[in-house]
Structure 1
């Protein structure tokens, strides 16, 4: 092993079969309670705790530090399996894995080593970036202010996905002294942090995507990170988590429709067989749903490959190659988003053509697949991503690597 690898070992991939086998019993346990959590709107505190204890949050940490050493395609394959069990859980961990990825891209040193240890020990990171209300686009109201050897964090965030389950929160803020944009990694369990489960969307209802309020929350000096150093393929990464969630939703919907058709006893007088499972038209519907899900999963996994190349290029010493890899990661994740969103929304609607009126009853919860898919697809509007991809294909215009949302200028 060369000195370079000793100093900076990378997460280049693991034995996926062994890695997945380690977590599949937990995924199965999570799946067993998914419908009840949906029907009672119970947050998945226990499932996330099971994953923490099993080391799931450290699957991307290099093996030399005690992690799983998984590549990005392997991470997203695992997230697809987890999303099949309960699509709320991988989205709740979206901010965690993005922060892990940022630390993987950080320069080697004691600070990075400490974060790796925290991840291996089971620490989970939530996300709190977006502000709502009277916030102009590009404006950041949440601020960090020098306070002796520490910083004081004040502000309010919505869509703070996963923070209610977390040990730390990745907070996008602005320095009061310089106006610079920063990431403030703050401990989630302290008096200055209050979480509210007030997310009221019709889908992904148990992701913990509600409000986080910070009142003089303490931020250690070493945990204030210049946003300009954030890993360059972050937008692609965040989208890839959503693609994995969509593919997992599709797999769960396919599993459910197959099981319901298999066990269905009632038939229609104008059907094609004595048993629904033998009806050629019903088989066709389920086959078409299977094809939609297959295409979505294949697209999601294919789109993850350039993100791994971007990660490796970060340490390759070739700025041109790194930028090309970052562009490819963004374009391919956006391209996949356009088609995967449509495929899974179609699959989760078409499945009802293989069923009957009794299968739309609320207790069965089959509508959750479409509601969850539609909700996930509403992140990062597809129409804008399609335009970005088209502009790249036609004109070679590089995609935006960071984007914001907020109020536009007042109308005349």
Structure 2
């Protein structure tokens, strides 16, 4: 069924349905086992492998380089669809798609060609940026040192989302002089150990735990020549979270509609002999679906802003202004989208009876996952950032970093 026929609106391009058709069988398989996987806490190794097999991880590469040449709005719409299946899988691939943007925007032809080839071959990249140690904001405890002619890294990273499933870890560190270093380190390199010790009540299958680097030799061609990230990086990573939330909303809306249609028990103080005919119940289902629809529409509108920055950067112009405006668009979407989806994933229970809380249905995972995602990069600051822009023309911060004060 097309997205339009499902009532979610047309995709972001004329070719979108043809592009999405390649991946929807994998999305459906992922969704079919999501509840059981969540209950058993089984990590989605197989599910990510399915996506690699059908070329999902090469979406943004040009067709001539072995990819699909997907635009950013096409990518984000597909991430919404994937998140309908399992938001854990989307989050596990977030760093990979961000690294791909870094490759596409790299000023180094050699770096760009090397990593385009690896991504086209199906290799994937996980996250190794955040830390929970005592490093101050803007600094890292993970250090790259010289050892003769070699470069060796030592340190520990947390929130290493996707790295347990990946071939490479996108590592942020600093050298002995405190200068920033960005590298892609093989997950199979001696001295790399990735531990699934993430114990959050939501997004539990993303392997967002700890990665240890102990005397890891970093090959020189693993080190990014320019440590700066792509110009729309902050907006991109936040919008992946919003796309994931929109997909959770769609899944919740479809589940509550199906369960209402199947429900046979009614209340004596209800409004119909069949739950599906009760206008109050229908209104609850409609609100859940409306919230999900609005969340998706907002995500796709913000994705257009990112596409504009990408095109400005690709054409050789200064992307600073368009990147700041893209940050504004995404920031002003954060609270709205999270509120819509949190409301939907709570309100859906009003359309069902007490049996809806049974673990076998897994409906609680929608709220747990949405609440967990909404806690990343705290949304309480986003409205203030947008307000500062609206009142004083203040550009959003170019980086969001965490550390000790």
Q: Give the TM-score, by structure 2 length.
A: 0.95
Moved more, 41-50 or 106-115: 106-115
1:266 Cα deviation (Å)?
1.0
Aligned residue for 2:57? Answer: 57
Describe how 1:17-96 pairs up with structure 2 within 5 A.
17-96=17-96
User: How far, CA to CA, are the matches of 1:131 and 1:111 in structure 2?
Assistant: 26
Local SS of the residue matching 2:156: strand
User: Is the contact between residue 249 and residue 344 of structure 1 (CA under 8 Å) also seen in structure 2?
Assistant: yes
1:393 paired residue among 387, 390, 397: 390
Moved more, 83-92 or 150-159: 150-159
User: Is the contact between residue 135 and residue 141 of structure 2 (CA under 8 Å) also seen in structure 1?
Assistant: yes
Aligned residue for 1:313? Answer: 312
Local SS of the residue matching 1:201: coil
User: Is the contact between residue 256 and residue 351 of structure 2 (CA under 8 Å) also seen in structure 1?
Assistant: yes
User: Is the contact between residue 182 and residue 227 of structure 2 (CA under 8 Å) also seen in structure 1?
Assistant: no
Aligned: 1:195 with 2:194: yes
Moved more, 28-37 or 182-191: 182-191
Aligned residue for 1:9? Answer: none
User: Is the contact between residue 84 and residue 250 of structure 2 (CA under 8 Å) also seen in structure 1?
Assistant: yes
Aligned: 1:126 with 2:123: no
User: Is the contact between residue 14 and residue 71 of structure 1 (CA under 8 Å) also seen in structure 2?
Assistant: no
Local SS of the residue matching 1:314: helix
Local SS of the residue matching 2:23: helix
Aligned residue for 2:321? Answer: 324
User: How far, CA to CA, are the matches of 1:115 and 1:56 in structure 2?
Assistant: 16
User: Is the contact between residue 160 and residue 209 of structure 2 (CA under 8 Å) also seen in structure 1?
Assistant: yes
Aligned residue for 2:253? Answer: 254
1:15 Cα deviation (Å)?
2.6
Aligned residue for 2:4? Answer: none
Aligned: 1:146 with 2:125: no
User: How far, CA to CA, are the matches of 2:314 and 2:103 in structure 1?
Assistant: 13
Local SS of the residue matching 2:350: helix
1:187 Cα deviation (Å)?
0.3
User: How far, CA to CA, are the matches of 1:326 and 1:111 in structure 2?
Assistant: 23
Aligned residue for 1:6? Answer: none
User: Is the contact between residue 128 and residue 159 of structure 1 (CA under 8 Å) also seen in structure 2?
Assistant: yes
User: Is the contact between residue 14 and residue 69 of structure 1 (CA under 8 Å) also seen in structure 2?
Assistant: no
Q: Give RMSD over aligned pairs.
A: 1.5
User: How far, CA to CA, are the matches of 2:35 and 2:45 in structure 1?
Assistant: 15
User: How far, CA to CA, are the matches of 1:79 and 1:317 in structure 2?
Assistant: 28
1:226 Cα deviation (Å)?
5.2
Can you list the C-alpha shifts for 1:102-147, whole angstroms capped at 9, x where unaligned? 0000126233112111111110100011111333222310011124
Describe how 1:1-400 pairs up with structure 2 within 5 A.
15-107=15-107, 109-176=109-176, 178-225=177-224, 228-319=227-318, 322-400=319-397
Structure 2 alignment gaps of length 5 or more = 1-11
User: Is the contact between residue 181 and residue 227 of structure 1 (CA under 8 Å) also seen in structure 2?
Assistant: no
Cα 1:133–1:148 shift into 2, 3 Å: closer
Q: Give the TM-score, by structure 1 length.
A: 0.93
Structure 1 alignment gaps of length 5 or more = 1-11
Can you list the C-alpha shifts for 1:315-337, whole angstroms capped at 9, x where unaligned? 33332xx2121011111111111
Local SS of the residue matching 2:204: coil
1:287 Cα deviation (Å)?
0.6
User: Is the contact between residue 139 and residue 174 of structure 2 (CA under 8 Å) also seen in structure 1?
Assistant: no
Can you list the C-alpha shifts for 1:226-269, whole angstroms capped at 9, x where unaligned? 56431121010000100110000001101110111011111111
Can you list the C-alpha shifts for 1:182-226, whole angstroms capped at 9, x where unaligned? 112100122211111110111111011000001122222122125
Aligned length: 394
